[in-house]
Amino acid sequence: MFEIVVDSAANIPAELCKKYNIKVLSFVNLVNGKEVTCFDPDLTPEQERQKGKEYYDAIKAGAEVKTGLISSGIFEDTFREIVEADKDVLYFSLSKNISGNYNSARVAAEEVMENCTTGRKIRLIDSLNASLAQGILAIYASEMRDKGMKFDEVADTLETYPARMNGVFTVGNLKYLAKTGRLSGATAVIGNVLSIKPILRGNKDGYIVQFKKCRGRKPVLNELVNLVCDNIVNPEEQIIGIAHADAYEDSLYVMDEIQKRIKVRDFINTSYDFCTGSHVGPDTIALFFMGKDRELGA
């Protein structure tokens, strides 16, 4: 038996965490100096969307937001509790090239395994991405577990998935990308004036990079739809993830446009997790899906 663990950046709605028996370790952000827990296991989808609206409204109003890592101590306590219960641990991480969280988990896992007497294992999988690119992998792992697949077989299979799990997104205001150094301040100002909307993606090495540019909100949403429909593999077997930062109507639009073109097993449409969402800003729309690789036809 094994436990599946994610951090709250995996963006899995609370009701699905319960359905798939996935354990979530939550980031805690500071908003104007007040602690905000990024994941609440008891919220309904409607409550999650409302909480997301309140969070991104605060950012729009100029709130000071600070993010931090989940400590190695929290990882260590969690991993130790699981292995002492005679279970293995499979943890899906935010890309180590955009966050130090993977390293915190690695240090904790090494400490726990050094003193482990149960013979259990801890395996970490770097999603090389963020948000539902992590979360959907964890859901697939849960489904494999429910089918009776063994721990190492599941881990070995899922280790191959990040190379094909794509994440593409656009933002509402370029200033948030400028704050994180992904754009210069001058480029952000000019881009906003000209209504230039970039499409960004997680590349194969787990870095967030610019991929394309469009002019106007509707054209960039349509291009996101094109990228999914043109690059997805076996869509009828896939869950497509949609994460939005208080852009619910736009998320419904892209979901509807995708369904007009391809038959999909299912969608997860949810408010963008606060940890990574604060770096991309309000009105961000992100789509996650499996392709043959992560090159998107490039």
Question: At which of 94, 128, 158 does a domain end?
Answer: 158
Confidence of residue 209 (pLDDT cuts 50, 70, 90): confident
Same domain membership, residue 173 and residue 141: no
Q: Is residue 296 part of a domain?
A: no
Model pLDDT, residue 215:
87
CATH number, domain at 23?
Answer: 3.40.50.10440
207 found inside a domain: yes
Report the number of distinct structural domains present in the chain.
2
226 and 79 in a common domain: no
Task: Report the chain's mean pLDDT, rounded to a whole number.
Answer: 91
Q: What is the pLDDT of residues 22-78, one digit of tens each?
A: 999 999 999 999 999 999 999 999 999 999 999 999 999 999 999 889 999 999 999
pLDDT for residue 173: 76
**Which of 158, 177, 208 is the last residue in one of the domains?**
158
Residue 92 has pLDDT above 60, yes or no: yes
pLDDT value, residue 185: 45
Q: Are residues 127 and 149 in the same domain?
A: yes
258 and 153 fall within a common domain: no
Comparing 213 with 89, the larger pLDDT belongs to 89
- The answer as to whether 51 is a domain residue is no
Give tens-digit pLDDT for 101-140: 999 999 999 999 998 888 899 999 999 999 999 999 999 9
Q: Report the pLDDT value the prediction gives residue 184, as an integer from 0 to 100.
A: 44
Do 139 and 205 share a structural domain?
no
Backbone dihedral region of 296: left (phi > 0), alpha (psi from -120 to 50 degrees) or beta?
left
Both 132 and 186 in one domain: the answer is: no
Mean pLDDT (whole number) for 236-260: 97
Is residue 197, in this structure, part of any structural domain at all? yes
HEC-encoded secondary structure of the chain: CEEEEEEHHHCCCHHHHHHHCEEEECCEEEECCEEEECCCCCCCHHHHHHHHHHHHHHHHCCCCEECCCCCHHHHHHHHHHHHHCCCEEEEEECCCCCCCHHHHHHHHHHHHHHCCCCCCCEEEEECCCCCHHHHHHHHHHHHHHHCCCCHHHHHHHHCCCCCCEEEEEECCCCHHHHHCCCCCHHHHHHHHHCCEEEEEEECCCCCEEEEEEEECHHHHHHHHHHHHHHHECCHHHCEEEEEECCCHHHHHHHHHHHHHHCCCCEEEEEECCHHHHHHHCCCCEEEEEEECCCCCCC
Q: What is the CATH number of the domain that holds 230?
A: 3.30.1180.10
- Domain of residue 189, residue span: 165-290
Of 111, 141, 158, which marks where a domain is finished?
158
> Is position 94 within any domain?
yes
- Convert the pLDDT of each residue in 184-203 to its tens digit: 444 444 445 446 788 889 89
In which band, very low, low, confident or very high, does the pLDDT at 279 lie, cut at 50, 70 and 90? confident
135-155, pLDDT tens digit by residue?
Answer: 999 999 999 999 999 999 999
Asked if residues 47 and 77 have their Cβ atoms less than 8 Å apart, the reply is no
pTM of the model: 0.93
What is the average per-residue pLDDT within 247-262? Answer: 97
